[in-house]
A and B are shown apart, each in its own frame.
Chain A
Amino acid sequence: MKLRGRKIYPGLVEGEALVTSMGISFFGGVDPDTGVVVEKDHELEGQSIAGKVLVFPTGKGSTVGSYTLYRLKHNGLAPAAVINAECETITAVGCIIAEIPCVDQVPIQEIKTGAKVLVYGEEGMVEVLT
């Protein structure tokens, strides 16, 4: 299944989807030294986003969150790619400075956790393989 969206940051990657219906605040919500979501009562609390194709509706919280994505990347714990319903400043800037492929305006409800997905950053497209 191919899902069309919009390019935020280019790059071609394949990975396993980790999906949430909740927004993510990277600053304070994700531990940059472990890659684990630490926001209390978040659907993904306790799970690692490292190496995953991270799928969430939109970002939220402090603009310092862009630097959290950058730090995750330097620690080798960044998501392989990011897919949003609607990307906003914090996530977009974070993906650009950390060079993480990112696509938005994708119907994210079509993607399930554990699915294998191919992200075509440049084309703004996502292919769900399984």
Chain B
Amino acid sequence: MELTREEQAMLEGESGRATRKAMEILVTLGTIYGAERMVPVSSVQIAGVSYDNLGEAGLHFLTEMADGGGKARVLTTLNPAGMDIENREALGISAAFAEKQERVLKAFERMNVITTCSCTPYLFGNTPHYGEHIAWAESSAVCYANAVLGARTNREGGPSALATALTGVTPAYGYHLDVNRIPSITIQVDGEVTRSDEFGALGKAIGEKLEGLGGKAVPYIRGVRKASVEALKSFCASLATYGGTGLFHMEGVTPEAAQMSAPTALVVISPQDIGAAYQSLFDPTKNEVDFVTLGCPHLSIKEIARIAELLEGKVVKKEFWITTARPTKQIADRMGYTKIIEASGAKFAADTCCVVAPIKGRFNVMATDSAKACYYAYAKNKFKTVLKPFDQVVEEATR
């Protein structure tokens, strides 16, 4: 790889040992993937924040990087942590876990990373524009940034995203290059999808088709006439989870679609395919639902307003977590939504979510509107899952 003088200096340790380690990671990845040079980025999103996923090793590494003088050079935000930083006891998170989680956040803070703790940084302040080079981890946000915003990022892991934060550059390969953003397969969606849960099922149906074709393909999706921000965030999360997809184009919806032509290779997604994907996440179990959650990815303020409307004057009878980012929660506080929701017995879980919180063994059957949440509930926590429309999930909690 050809490095600038400044990049070479970082590699030789002139900015300290953490920055040196960061540059070693980036140069090696660049070499593996055939990058010719680095590209400067303006935004980073780091995953691997929950102590439940990081463990002692991750905490040790992050502390070493902070001790080694690492400082973020560009706007850098964080994925959800394993707990609500201000409300852990109500959610049943142990003091021992909280102590470790706080040390993880402290290490990031020392490196000048903004401790947002959310998977939807694009909803509040880390919102890259069209064509902007960025380095994001968090697969759902990668997909959203590439496809919906038209920014450019590879699917980073926690350490590689941190490495870019500390150096301000990423190797120019993959989705940073025009040639790799061209679609190779057309996905024709037959049938209407409108709600977030349906978009999640659609993401699973398409993701599994792409996975079956060997993955890596950039799909050009037709037949979806319109999609809200909430629908797209659900779709991106699901497509990334089930297909490993980091970029798609959607005719009439995403910005780069108009520059692309539909590839001749065609896959049709029928209403039956979407229905089958939906059914696969609905366990017709006799066990009662004992955990209800909304907010994977983190809820928008519009979604929280809807929950407040549905819960006004009602009483929740099951453990019900409403997961969102702290800034969104603060708007909900101001609007009085929090008061209504908490009066029902439902719990806000800001800064965290059902995917990364340490809840294994606590519940048996989870109800949600999120196809991604279903995947991790089963894979990580062995919960049975019940996928339902948003409004019906709220209703389930009151039953």
Contacts and interface: CB of A to CB of B under 8 A. Distances in A.
Interface of A: 6, 8-9, 32, 63-64, 66-68, 70-71, 74, 87-90, 92-93, 96-97, 104
A96 B60 CA distance: 15
A67 B21 contact: no
A93 B159 contact: yes
Contacts of A96: 21, 24-25, 28
Contacts of A92: 25, 28-29, 32
A93 B57 contact: no
Interface string B48-80: 100001111110110000000000000000000
Given A64-B48, A92-B28, A92-B32, A71 B55 contact: yes
A67 B29 contact: no
Contacts of B48: 63-64, 67
Nearest to B27: A96
Contacts of B29: 89, 92-93
12 contacts: A9-B28, A32-B55, A67-B57, A70-B57, A70-B60, A92-B29, A93-B28, A96-B21, A96-B25, A96-B28, A97-B21, A97-B61
Interface-centre pick from B56, B58, B61, B159 (highest chain A CB count, 10 A): B159
A70 B58 CA distance: 8
Chain A interface mostly? helix
A60 to B, nearest CB: 11
Nearest to B58: A67
Name the residue in A74, A90, A93 with the highest tally of chain B Cβ atoms < 10 Å from its Cβ: A93
* Most chain A beta-carbon neighbours within 10 Å: one of B25, B28, B47, B53: B28
Nearest to A88: B32
A32 B137 contact: no
Contacts of A67: 48, 54-55, 57-58, 61, 158-159
B53 A70 contact: no
A89 B60 contact: no
